[in-house]
A and B are shown apart, each in its own frame.
Chain A
Amino acid sequence: MHPRAFAEPLDAATRAETSERAQTRVVLVGPPECGKTTLLLRFCVRYVRENPDGRVLYIASERAMDRARVHATRDELLKDDPRALDRIGIKYAEDDQDVRALCCFRHAAPANAQPTAYVVDDLGSLIKCGGKDRVKREIAYAKTLAALHESARDDESGEERLVVVSERRDEELGGVPMGYVYARWFGEVMQACEVGNGEWDLVRQSDMASVRYSTRSSARTE
């Protein structure tokens, strides 16, 4: 998955990704106010437009969604087929247990209504278990990531489906918090690196491919 899938405007011409090894487990990491929520939402819209049968389950805390500043225009989101947005389902979760519950019961829905991609916004803020107890927090992370990994799989073919998770950058170590736990299930990290003046580079860590984007936007969603 190229950083363009997150950072390019939705009304930009899409470029076919040739010879891109499909990576189905991606962590998007960056400091606060770098536009992670907008990147995720942009990815969701692009995904349902490019996959006519695709359905996205977007998981976030309601409080975080209310506070989020989304840097995308109404025109950008409603371009082409606005009904495609119906295939993005937003579920609010209060904690990691809620996230695991969504994963454990996803098979209760009919097969054609189940998600083909999972997006979790700011997973770190949803991991309430453990507080400052590192071991308990580590266990909560492992359980939640395992649940997401297992849930994002076709029951018949075993084919892996997409999981994208965003995290706030670990301010002490830099990079992904609990990175060694993520590494068991997630194969790709994309990091938002500040350039300055509202400009950011979204960098794919495996090969340092990057795309520049801006959080300075004169038009926002209403």
Chain B
Amino acid sequence: MGAAPARRRATSTSEAEDDSNPKRWRDASNDARHRGAAIAEAAFDALARRARVARDANRAIDVPDDALEALAWLYGAKHLQKALEVMQAGRVRRVVAERSGRSMYAVHGSGAHERAPYLCFPAHFCSCRSFFWECVNRGEALACKHQLAAKLASVLRCAKTTTVDDVLLGNMMMKSFEDDPM
């Protein structure tokens, strides 16, 4: 296969209206989501720094009001409240593979029925129905409450940690992925 610098660009004159233009897949809502994610990351970084200072000074870690306000603005106040409830109820568990150090979060829902915990990668995925519906399908939320709870627990270092065999971690991930969220 030979290659040469293209002599002309393969674009239409009106990219914004051209339905065949692949650039349309990255639409305005996507850009807003990326900006929101960047702001959220900055908010969590600031919270992590405060938590580190508190730990170094042997003080109890508290989440200041301005941090709560920022997170409520990003994720929704109701969403944040539910996430804090999940975290404070001790429903967030970090599972670590003994040899490789690979990890995942297992977050129990707050529903009345006992079910297997949700697989959570706080930055980008949860196996719950809400993630697929609100975050992926509708693109209306940055993260579900389980991701938010896991992220908070990670930053504040209040998740219970369980160390397991590497193969068991793989099996847990696999099972969670194959559970039907619907």
Contact = CB atoms under 8 A, between A and B. Distances in A.
B112 to A, nearest CB: 24
Contacts of A182: 25
Contacts of A156: 101
Contact of B132 (A38, A97, A138, A195): A138
A189 B1 contact: no
Interface string A56-90: 00000000000000011000000000000000000
B22 A29 contact: yes
Given A191-B22, A205-B22, A212 B136 contact: no
Contacts of B181: 139
A72 B132 CA distance: 41
Given A101-B174, A173-B19, A146 B2 contact: no
22 contacts: A12-B3, A29-B22, A42-B1, A100-B174, A100-B177, A104-B170, A105-B167, A108-B170, A142-B125, A146-B125, A147-B173, A150-B124, A173-B19, A175-B24, A179-B22, A184-B124, A184-B136, A185-B124, A203-B10, A211-B6, A212-B6, A212-B7
A210 B97 contact: no
A44 B25 CA distance: 27
Given A146-B121, A155-B101, A176-B22, A107 B166 contact: yes
Nearest to B22: A175
Given A191-B22, A205-B22, 14 more contacts: A9-B2, A100-B174, A107-B102, A107-B166, A107-B170, A108-B100, A108-B166, A111-B100, A155-B100, A155-B102, A184-B136, A208-B9, A210-B9, A213-B2
Interface residues of B, number: 45
Interface residues of A, number: 57
A72 B101 contact: no
B137 interface: yes
A214 B124 contact: no
Interface of A: 4, 7-9, 12, 29, 35, 38, 42, 71-72, 97, 100-101, 104-105, 107-108, 111, 135-136, 138-139, 142-143, 146-147, 149-150, 155-156, 173-176, 179-185, 189, 191, 193, 195, 201, 203, 205, 208, 210-215, 217
A4, A97, A105, A183 — most chain B CB neighbours (10 Å): A183
Interface in B1-48: 1-7, 9-11, 19-26, 30, 33
Given A72-B1, A180-B139, A215-B1, A139 B132 contact: yes
